[in-house]
Amino acid sequence: MSDAGQTPDTIVSFDNVGLRYGTDTEVLRDLSFTLFPGSFYFLTGASGAGKTSLLKLLYLAQRPSRGVVKMFGRDMITTPRSDLPAFRRRIGVVFQDFRLVEHMNAFDNVALPLRVAGVREADLKQPVTEMLSWVGLAHRVEAFPTTLSGGEQQRVAIARAVIGRPDILVADEPTGNVDPEMALKLMRMFEALNRLGTTVVVATHDVHLLKKVPESLIMRLDKGKLSDPTGALKYPPRSEKRSEKRSETSSDTSSERRSEVRSEQPAPKPRAKAAAPSDEGDDGPIDLGPGFKPRKPFGRGPQ
């Protein structure tokens, strides 16, 4: 991630963004927030609140009606359309309705991002089959989407979204069609990807899941507006601000060492077993990793 003009500390920055479809009233209003690389966010809100619409802005399928959307440090509104595909390839998407390619089997669906990226056929088989095993579908590699259950299709869609190790993963209700045990496994998969450095945004209604997540990681949409009860959207939490500052000056506190250890770990590929979520179906707090906290706080960061 080293585009010219990039603000190094942010991967997404919205400033006073609004979105309307056609001539209707705005479905998203006054959105101003910053997402930091390597962080993990949950987006929630009632049906119709605008979650999918916000995600569409994030995965560059939609341009806002007003405001500024910066991704990877670049203003996406003034970026020529011809440059957008290159940015889109850095974004993994799990669509609410899966959008698998019907005439391709599970293997070919998952292989798609690698083929688009020019990976040689000889190098595809191992990562794709390992990724499908990772989501519990080793036995369904040859299956076409119409023969898969909703939960199986969702897992193929997730495998396709993460196989290319995107810089940012945007997932729209990714656990909506699976049982709680599988939901937890999938969340652990996102967590593993996040530990490898991917910024993750998961839209969910899942109150069971949200109960286990710190408030500062939750983006709440209410009728198109982001509410900000903790103030974390505008101001990074104080402790986070301090540790951010310390890490800039390379001090040596244990909490920073912890995050350094995390970032210095050799980055296994997503297919690596070590990064796979565990199979334990516990019901405790969701494990967002040892000493997990967002690498950078959710808030209005340096612009």
Q: Closer to Mg ion at the Cβ: 27 or 192?
A: 27
Residue 166 binding: pick among ligand ATP, Mg ion, none (C-beta 5-8 Å cut-off by kind): none
Give, in order, the Cα–Cα distances in Å from 98 to each of 136, 148, 224, 270, 290.
17, 12, 24, 20, 31
Q: How far apart are the C-alpha atoms of 291 and 257, rounded to whole Å?
A: 11
Q: Closer to ligand ATP at the Cβ: 51 or 188?
A: 51
**If binding means CB under 6 A, how many residues of this protein chain bind ligand ATP?**
11
One symbol per residue from 35 to 74: x for binding ligand ATP (CB under 6 A), - otherwise; what is it?
A: ----------x-xxxxxxx---------------------
Residue 47 binding: pick among Mg ion, ligand ATP, none (C-beta 5-8 Å cut-off by kind): ligand ATP
Q: Closer to Mg ion at the Cβ: 52 or 243?
A: 52
DSSP 232-297: TTTS--HHHHHHHHHHHTT---HHHHHHHHHHHS----TT-GGGSPP-----SS----TT---SS-
Residue from 52, 105, 153, 198 in contact with Mg ion (CB under 5 A) = 52
* Burial class (CB within 10 angstroms; exposed 0-12, middle 13-18, buried 19+) of 54: buried
Residue 93 binding: pick among ligand ATP, Mg ion, none (C-beta 5-8 Å cut-off by kind): none
Helix, strand, or coil here: 4? Answer: coil
- Min dist CB 28 to ligand ATP, Å, is 8
Note the residues at the interface with ligand ATP (CB under 6 A).
21, 27, 45, 47-53, 96
